[in-house]
A and B are shown apart, each in its own frame.
Chain A
Amino acid sequence: MTTAARLRITGGTVYDPANGVDGVVRDVCIEGERIVADLPSGVPRLDARGMIVMPGGVDIHAHVAGSSVNHARRLLPEEHAADPVPGDAIRRSGTGGTLPSTFVTGYRYAGLGYTTAMEAAVAPLAARHAHAELDDTPILDSGCFVLLGNDDYLLRQIATGEATRARDYAGWLLGVTRGYAIKIVNPGGVARWKGGGSERNVTGLDDPVGSSAVTPRKILETLAGAANALALPHPVHVHCNNLGQAGNAATTLESMQAVAGQRAHFTHLQFHSYGGARGKEWKSAARDVIEYVNSHPEVSVDVGQVMFGAATTVTADSPVEYLLHSSTGRKWVNVDIELETGCGIVPYAYKEKAAVAALQWAVGLELFLLARDPWRVALSTDHPNGGTFLSYPQLIRLLMDRAYRDDRLKGVNQKLLAGSALLDGLAREYTLSEIVIITRAGPARLLGLTSKGHLAPGADADVTIYANEPDRAKMFATPRHVLKAGTLVVEDGQLRRAPAGRRLSVRPEHDRAVTRDLKRFFDDYACVSFENYGAEPVA
């Protein structure tokens, strides 16, 4: 066993907001996979003079692996032909596009200075698939959010008032799927979609789902309570009802109020912040939604910004995908994941000249610019739904450069922008330190990743070093050096190494008695036997 590799990053301007460091020239010392306080002289050095040093990026919400992502890849062979990635001594070959192949996903995230990404929607039944793909996604540390908001067994427990068993089930499920957090997608809505009949979605928090005792509100309360009771590092991760509908801000606010007082994370908030009335003219309601977030410290969000260009919508929210397919006529798939959830995929393009896309773009920016606490508002595009992760540098520039933003605003369709705060003129420009918070320090804190998102001794040696370019889009698109767990993966802008990433997972304590009932349920309804379920065989 050789001694752990040591490295001193010298002379860089360090941004480490979690530790109150805002643009201070200092050294960062690394020993093995960790940051250390100091190192003796004579250790290897990495000259970072004139450069900007910050923790590696943490993506709190992206779709990068698993059965849904793979379905989308299979649906889009034209993207593969258009963006082939040849292999070389370091890289495995693959394809790019809006849903890069596993290896390319790792390379490209690292190429932006990101070292952690959470896969935001894993159907428990397909957890093994997700983990297999993440095993082949190099460099990134990753974790899986496990879909529970339309799970048949869970809904049955709610119907019969078995809140404790519901919580034990959530704990058991996270363990056997090697999950990291509980994900809710359109609570009850997907179950209704799958149930057939005339009501194919829920419209609000109090629509009954199968049983009158089961409503979206009840599902939210149960799972938010479970996540907190199980002391999970990340609270319940909620994709609200009525995604993409005009007037859905009311539902979003009601959902936040439904779990008031409990920690909860509301994801891709942009898709849930529209005013107007259902089926009628859209407008922005970003101000109302973000004001609630501002005044409720237990709530955190990520934005789910829309970026103009190609995207692919991938979600467990099947009814939404049906609407999107009907309105665009694009090819699609819709999948029933038996007892657990749904899945829909439609390729999509956001165009500046399209009124709704322009509104979505503006709503996302409003949320960012009106947010008062950057620690609770993470940067995301809901990759690849609102745009791919490769558009993050452009998004950062929009946030940091008002002149550029105002210029872009002039070029978009203004039809639905009346009443948008963005049109009234938002002067705010994010500081570099705030960008570090929304792309690294904040998401790490919201995920409960205590050793990520900062550079104090003991932290993971995930470090990104950027040249100090005035064009922030260029700066964030081309890091000079990236270290992952102490390994220099990007050196002088070139990918040099691609070590495997680590999996982040939880194994919450729960009453094992739940498995007795579950075995009966599996025997009666499931396509797999209880023993073969999960990411690893159930012990």
Chain B
Amino acid sequence: MSDAVVLTLREEPKHALIAAAITPDRLASLGAAEIAALPVVHGGRAAQLGDFFKVKGERSATIRIEGELAHVEGIGTGMAAGEIVVAGGVGRDLGVQMAGGRIDVHGDAGDNAGGAGPGASRGMTGGEIVIRGKAGPDVGARMRRGLVVVTGDGGRGTGRGMIAGTVVVFGTAGPGAGRFLKRGSIVALGAIERPATFRYVCTYRPPYVPVLLRYLGARYGLAVADRHITGRYERYAGDMAELGKGEILRWVGD
């Protein structure tokens, strides 16, 4: 058993590389050779993880992934435990339908991070995803539980159709953020457009936001400004076209 399994991309794949097999729960019980033999799909054709990644370490629920991963999709799909640290940006479907564990991305993420698989009614059901950069469209879409943090801007439809859970966006949340949301919270430290079907409730200092932001500073070392911790937030309840038990919290200053 190693401290971590380190996957290093040999060269950038020519086509989309679906690497849904990369989950800590799976790698925790596999040797290096078995990890290299895990199935991936490259440009619609079956291939093996080892064709694209150098594998170092084995039998660990901590995974480090290195290289230019913008074309690598589906990392952490359905993971339930363990930790993935990505030393760069990743492609779409990061942590789709994950149920637990942590994903820490030191770069941008593609579409649908923490979201639902094709046709599925719910996205991630637990765990934490931290994206230290921009997130693509539909980040946290249809999530059921868990935490997604984007330190840059969130894409179009951030938190769209959330069933529950929390999305924190440090930058600007994209258009259509929070639409069709049933429950759950979108905490917007930057600009966010209020959907027409969200209703203004009040401006206050929500007690859980400082707790959450301090946790992000302590656990992930994110630079959280004091003004966000101590500041006031406008609360919008919605989506009134859906269940209406969710909220958008927009930071409005001290």
Chain A residues close to B by CB (< 8 Å) = 75-81, 86, 330-331
Contacts and interface: CB of A to CB of B under 8 A. Distances in A.
Contact of A331 (B46, B117, B118, B121): B121
B118 A77 contact: yes
Contact of B117 (A75, A81, A86, A330): A81
A78 B120 contact: yes
B119 A75 contact: yes
B141 to A, nearest CB: 15
Interface string B93-134: 000000000000000000000000111110000000000000
16 contacts: A75-B119, A76-B119, A77-B118, A77-B119, A78-B117, A78-B118, A78-B119, A78-B120, A79-B119, A80-B118, A81-B117, A81-B118, A81-B119, A86-B46, A330-B121, A331-B119
Contacts of B120: 78
B219 to A, nearest CB: 32
A75 B119 CA distance: 7
A86 B117 CA distance: 20
A330 B118 CA distance: 15
A89 to B, nearest CB: 16
* Chain A interface, >50% SS class: helix
Nearest to A82: B117
Contacts of A77: 118-119
B23 to A, nearest CB: 15
- Per CB-CB distance, the 3 closest pairs between chain A and chain B, nearest first, are A78-B119, A77-B118, A77-B119
B155 to A, nearest CB: 21
Interface of B: 46, 117-121
A81 B46 CA distance: 14
Residues of B contacting A: mostly: loop
Contacts of B119: 75-79, 81, 331
Contacts, number: 17
B244 to A, nearest CB: 16
A49 B202 CA distance: 82
Interface centre among B46, B117, B119, B120 (most CB of A within 10 A): B119
Nearest to B77: A81
A76 B118 CA distance: 8
A202 B121 CA distance: 32
Best-buried of A76, A77, A78, A80 by chain B (most CB within 10 Å): A78
A92 B229 CA distance: 58
A320 B111 CA distance: 37
Nearest to A78: B119
Nearest to A79: B119
Contacts of B46: 86
A331 B121 CA distance: 8
A347 to B, nearest CB: 9
A77 B96 CA distance: 15
A75 B120 CA distance: 10
Contacts of A80: 118
A346 to B, nearest CB: 12
A86 B41 CA distance: 12
A81 B120 CA distance: 11
Contacts of B117: 78, 81
B44 to A, nearest CB: 10
A93 to B, nearest CB: 10
A331 B46 CA distance: 31
A443 to B, nearest CB: 33
A81 B74 CA distance: 13
Given A78-B117, A86-B46, 4 more contacts: A77-B119, A78-B118, A78-B119, A80-B118
A330 B120 CA distance: 10
Contacts of A79: 119
A77 B121 CA distance: 11
A79 B117 CA distance: 10
Contacts of A76: 119
A75 B121 CA distance: 12
A183 B119 CA distance: 31
B45 to A, nearest CB: 10
A79 B119 CA distance: 8
Nearest to B97: A78
Nearest to B20: A81
B116 to A, nearest CB: 9
Contacts of A86: 46
A79 B118 CA distance: 9
A349 to B, nearest CB: 12
A81 B121 CA distance: 14
A307 to B, nearest CB: 22
A78 B117 CA distance: 7
B246 to A, nearest CB: 17
Nearest to B117: A78
A303 to B, nearest CB: 30
Contacts of A78: 117-120
A71 to B, nearest CB: 13
A80 B117 CA distance: 11
- Of A81, A86, A330, A331, most B-chain CB atoms within 10 Å: A81
A76 B121 CA distance: 11
Contacts of A75: 119
A77 B46 CA distance: 19
B179 to A, nearest CB: 17
B93 to A, nearest CB: 11
B207 to A, nearest CB: 33
A75 to B, nearest CB: 7
B53 to A, nearest CB: 22
Contacts of A81: 117-119
Contacts of A331: 119, 121
A330 B119 CA distance: 11
A332 to B, nearest CB: 12
A78 B119 CA distance: 5
A86 B46 CA distance: 10
A80 B118 CA distance: 9
A84 B98 CA distance: 21
A330 B122 CA distance: 12
A223 B119 CA distance: 39
Nearest to B118: A77
A488 B201 CA distance: 71
A86 to B, nearest CB: 7
A76 B119 CA distance: 6
A449 to B, nearest CB: 37
A404 to B, nearest CB: 34
Nearest to B116: A78
A373 to B, nearest CB: 43
A78 B121 CA distance: 10
Contacts of B121: 330-331
A70 to B, nearest CB: 15
B97 to A, nearest CB: 10
B78 to A, nearest CB: 11
